[in-house]
Amino acid sequence: MQQVDKIKYIIIWLGIIFFISGCSFKNEYTSSSSRNFDNNISKDQLLHAAKKVFLLTDKKAFRVDSYRNELQVTKEKAAYKFYTMDIQNDKFDFKITKDDKSPNLIATLSIYRTYDDENDKEYINDKSYPYELFWNRIEYILGLEKNWPLCNPLLSKGILCDIVDLENSWFEKKEILDLEINKPKIEQKTEKIKSN
């Protein structure tokens, strides 16, 4: 009988250890989406286009930090949960790297959300609508797409589309965009990179 009790305790402890270790590795998970741009598009054009996506959506809402090969963008918002309030941060990490096997550039975007604890990151799935919207808007700014993609409120999760917080995320007037964007004429399409 004692042997059975020992086995039960061992199984319970192994379950607890497994559960705790699984929770501790939660923040290590990341999700990102990448696109391959041909050599007709420069690194500076890509960085400028990514920055323009945020500034056109709402230049007051997004804090854009520019670096040589990347942008780090944050949008803060007060989030109410029952009787408490948290600060919700939407983070966008946009990086450009060189493809070793070709003259192409690889642009990678990672989107995640944090609340008061900056270390507890909620990554947005790389196949979700916010990524698709971001890449389509970059392609529009680069002259690869004819239309500025409009927001879909059901799929956006409040990222890049928020009628309350983001001044221009929903606008449809193309002439507003054409006034603000000096688009280069680029014929080559981008190529989606399969995620692992």
Listed by start position, the domains of the chain span: 1-30, 31-193
Percent pLDDT > 90 in the chain is 27
| Side-chain half-sphere exposure of 61, counting CA atoms within 13 A | 25
Residue 23 confidence (pLDDT) above 70: no
Q: State pTM to two decimals.
A: 0.71
Beta-carbon contacts of residue 88 (< 8 Å; ≥ 6 apart): 76, 77, 78, 79, 113, 114, 115
Query: Which pLDDT band, with edges at 50, 70 and 90, does 5 fall under?
Result: low
Beta-carbon contacts of residue 57 (< 8 Å; ≥ 6 apart): 160, 166, 167, 168, 169
State pLDDT tens for residues 61-117: 889 999 999 999 998 887 776 777 778 889 999 999 987 888 889 999 999 988 877
What pLDDT score does 193 carry? 65
The DSSP code for 28 is: G
State pLDDT tens for residues 141-179: 898 888 888 888 778 787 888 766 666 555 555 454 554
